[in-house]
């Protein structure tokens, strides 16, 4: 009342001051903390509301301040797009923000559609059996001697039973440690009881299965001793030191007597026989 001609901005501020309750203690602080958390239109409505309250208290606030505040409160996926166009007013910034929000929503919808299609494709592949079901007329045949063995199910091209090799079940031959030691001492073969020599081949060439008894420590020592004795009996040898009378870490020279005659005795662990000079023996 009392004013005939007033501008629209003054009328808006006067109207707000008359009918709107000012329950905000600090409009500037609330305006500066404003950020977009949901839909863009909700953010725009709240921005315009706080802008009007701020202008009522501070009518001289520049438009650049409101423009920068609006862009700063946008979501991260919208803000760079709006800043790239360098809008000169809040109205243009709102238009660019709406355009970018539509683009983001389209990308989100397309991404959901792709994930749904991929999920259906994976479910379809998982329902497909890895192997074809065997025919009802197909009968699995297991070779003799292998009853109870695992045989995979499926439609495989297997040779007929007539072409399959015949397997016969054999009882494994058990050789005790004492028998092996005895045969080693005699120089016989484990299997055919014939002299075992280099290049020996058993007459019985059939495939055989043997069980080997694991020796204890005492049995292993007896077995090694019997094997050494067998080698001593079958392979006579003489050491190089015994022939030439040389000294070495494996030889030991001692003095012996035959009657009253002194002799030089060469003890060599590598020899299997004893030798004496013919003149001394006579």
Give me the residue spans of the domains in the chain.
8-123, 173-234, 240-281
DSSP string, 35-51: ---S-HHHHHHHHHHHH
pLDDT band at 132 (very low <50, low <70, confident <90, very high): low
pLDDT at 80 over 80: yes
- Reported for 233-238, long-range contacts at CB under 8 A and 24+ positions apart, including other chains, are 233/185, 233/187, 234/187, 235/272, 236/272, 236/273, 237/270, 237/271, 237/272, 238/271, 238/272, 238/273, 238/275
Q: How many CA atoms lie within 13 A of 45 on its CB side?
A: 6
**Kind plus residue range of the DSSP H or E element containing 98:** helix 90-127
Within 10 A of 100 (CB to CB), how many other CB atoms are there? 21
In 144-281, DSSP assigns E strands to: 173-175, 210-212, 251-258, 261-268
- State pTM to two decimals: 0.36
pLDDT at 150 over 60: no
pLDDT band at 138 (very low <50, low <70, confident <90, very high): very low
pLDDT in tens, 224-262: 555 555 554 444 545 555 555 555 555 667 777 877 777
What is the β-pairing status of strands 173-175 and 210-212? parallel
Higher-scoring residue by pLDDT: 73, 271: 73
How many residues would you count in the chain?
A: 282
For the ranges 10-14, 16-20, 278-282, the maximum mean pLDDT occurs at 10-14
Residues 6+ apart with CB under 8 A from 174: 210, 211, 213
Average pLDDT, the chain: 71
Within 10 A of 114 (CB to CB), how many other CB atoms are there? 10
pLDDT at 21 over 80: no
């Amino acid at each position: 009342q009392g004013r005939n001609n007033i501008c629209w901005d003054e009328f808006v501020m006067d109207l707000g001051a008359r009918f709107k309750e000012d329950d905000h203690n600090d409009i500037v602080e609330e305006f500066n903390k404003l950020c977009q958390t949901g839909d863009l239109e909700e953010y725009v409505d709240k921005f315009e509301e706080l802008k009007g309250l701020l202008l009522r208290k501070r009518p001289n606030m520049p438009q650049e301040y409101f423009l920068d505040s609006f862009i700063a409160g946008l979501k991260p996926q919208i803000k760079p797009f709006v800043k790239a166009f360098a809008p000169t007013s809040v109205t243009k910034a709102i238009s660019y923000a709406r355009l970018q929000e539509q683009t983001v929503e389209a990308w989100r919808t397309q991404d959901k559609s792709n994930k749904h299609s991929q999920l259906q494709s994976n479910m379809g592949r998982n329902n497909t059996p890895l192997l074809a079901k065997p025919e009802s007329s197909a009968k699995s045949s297991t070779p003799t001697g292998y009853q109870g063995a695992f045989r995979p199910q499926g439609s495989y091209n297997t040779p007929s039973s007539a072409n399959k090799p015949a397997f016969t079940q054999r009882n494994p031959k058990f050789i005790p440690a004492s028998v092996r030691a005895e045969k080693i001492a005699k120089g016989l073969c484990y299997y055919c009881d014939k002299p075992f020599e280099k290049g020996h081949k058993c007459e019985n060439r059939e495939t055989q299965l043997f069980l080997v008894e694991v020796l204890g420590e005492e049995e292993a020592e007896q077995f090694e001793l019997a094997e050494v004795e067998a080698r001593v009996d079958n392979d006579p040898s003489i050491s190089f030191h015994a022939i030439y009378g040389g000294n070495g870490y494996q030889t030991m020279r001692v003095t012996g007597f035959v009657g009253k005659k002194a002799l030089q005795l060469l003890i060599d662990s590598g020899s299997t026989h004893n030798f004496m000079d013919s003149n001394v023996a006579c």
